[in-house]
Chain A
Amino acid sequence: MAAKDSPLKQFEIDPISNIELGGYNISFTNSSFAMLITVLVITLFLTLTVNTRSIIPSRMQLISELMYNFIAQLLSDTVGDNGKRYFPFVFSLFMFVLIGNMVGMIPYQFTFTSHIIVTFALAAVVFIGVTILGFINHGIKFFTFFYIPGVPFYMHPLLIPIEVISYLSRPISLSVRLFANMLAGHTLLKVFAGFVVSMPFFTGVFPLAFIVALTGLEILIAFLQAYVFAILTCLYINDAYHLH
């Protein structure tokens, strides 16, 4: 447990209602609540704005279409025609991370993407899915993925372990990147918020101005990390289709 005024206190999980299933604690917590809000925002927005299905879109409908085209373009650029099958998954992943980050930017709102277990679960789904996909597409030949062609033969004993390690560290890098960004950003905001209160006289406005600027940066990072998560997923899917 963190101390009362610790900047890490914001990451603490508070159960809203205690639920137990088969001996496991699956309490509905503030983290689950943030996920619920995220899912509601995404589903309601994407459903209601496209409700009229107008050929000439309203501004809100245009946002939905832009998001759709953004991810569709990303997939077709990185994976090509094979990527269309994974569009719903990549789109869901992008929206979940993006809106999750954005919901976390609301003051006093919990940021579930700042929890390593959540980002690691998402990254693990991507990693396991892509690995299975690779074996489905290439069978046992998928192992040649770790063999880099055009390299002197005596380099392979060194390179193949490196390739294997880098492949296995994919879910870790993917999840830690998102988690660390969120953690650092929110901690920094909290630290400077503490300065606003503790600094004497009117000097508190300086950290306050910094917080305002930092909030803008955090919103940018929120988008950027969702984008990075999506584009890396696309690249991994591409790897499962095209070995070197």
Chain B
Amino acid sequence: MPQLNPEFFVSQLFWLAVFFTFLFVFLWRVSLPRIATVLEKRQNKIDENLSSAKELQEQAMEIEKKINDQINKAKLETDEKIKETINALQENVSSQLSSLDKDLEKKVSDAEKEILKSKDDQMKNINNEIVDITKLTVGKITDIEMSDNELNKVIETHKGNFN
């Protein structure tokens, strides 16, 4: 078996020592730090991105909160304004209604007064007519000349029976 032939043992060991030492030192000093830097850089980048993403999320949440606040505020303001307007309109309407009521009442009372007055007038006229007719009738039938005062008195006493 060539493996057990000691002829090249020293040579094998010598070159193994040379090459393995070179490999070890090279990897230790050059290659591995390089890979380590890359991995570290990547990890840093990932951490950075994660933290900035977190920050942005927080900012977004803040903005959302602000928007919600503003919406709420605007809602409240609108509600207030709507209420105010409704109140103002209601006041306006009620004042106008009351003034209309007053007008109407006045008009109604005026009309009532006029009606009463015209009724009175009419009644007076009717009375006069009644007196006249009665005078004429009595005069024609009986030839009795009655004074207006007398007729009035008679009519007054019988007035209740007419109605």
Q: Chain B's nearest CB lies how many Å from the CB of A7?
A: 11
Residue pair A95, B27 in contact (C-beta under 8 Å):
yes
Which of these, B3, B35, B39, contacts A117 with CB under 8 Å?
B3
- B46's nearest neighbour on chain A, judged by CB, is A55
Q: How far is the CA of A9 from the CA of B11 in the complex (A)?
A: 19
What residues on B are CB-neighbors of A69 within 8 Å? 39
A89 within 8 A of B: yes
A225 within 8 A of B: no
B 50-94 binary contact with A (CB < 8 Å = 1; else 0) = 000000000000000000000000000000000000000000000
A191 within 8 A of B: no
Do most interface residues of chain B lie in helix, strand or loop, or is the interface mixed? helix
The total of Cβ contacts below 8 Å across the A-B interface reads 134
Q: How far is the CA of A55 from the CA of B39 in the complex (A)?
A: 8
Contact-size category for A: 35 or more
Residue pair A55, B15 in contact (C-beta under 8 Å):
no
Contact-size category for B: 35 or more
Interfacial residues of chain B within 1-34, with CB under 8 A of chain A in the complex: 1-5, 7-17, 19-20, 22-24, 26-28, 30-32, 34
B106 within 8 A of A: no
A2 and B24 contact, Cβ closer than 8 Å, known pairs A32-B11, A55-B38, A65-B35: no
Do most interface residues of chain A lie in helix, strand or loop, or is the interface mixed? helix
Residue pair A64, B35 in contact (C-beta under 8 Å):
yes
B42 within 8 A of A: yes
A117 and B27 contact, Cβ closer than 8 Å, known pairs A35-B19, A68-B32: no
Residue pair B39, A68 in contact (C-beta under 8 Å):
yes
Residue pair B2, A38 in contact (C-beta under 8 Å):
no
- B-binding segment of A43-51, A157-165, A212-220, A226-234: A43-51
Q: How far is the CA of A24 from the CA of B36 in the complex (A)?
A: 41
Interfacial residues of chain A within 22-48, with CB under 8 A of chain B in the complex: 24-29, 31-32, 35-36, 38-39, 42-43, 46-47
Q: How far is the CA of A12 from the CA of B27 in the complex (A)?
A: 30
Task: Mark B residues whose CB is within 8 Å of A.
Answer: 1-5, 7-17, 19-20, 22-24, 26-28, 30-32, 34-39, 41-42, 45
**Can you spell out 17 A-B residue pairs with CB atoms less than 8 angstroms apart?**
A9-B2, A25-B7, A29-B11, A29-B12, A32-B12, A32-B15, A35-B16, A35-B19, A39-B22, A53-B38, A65-B35, A65-B38, A92-B20, A95-B27, A112-B12, A121-B12, A121-B13
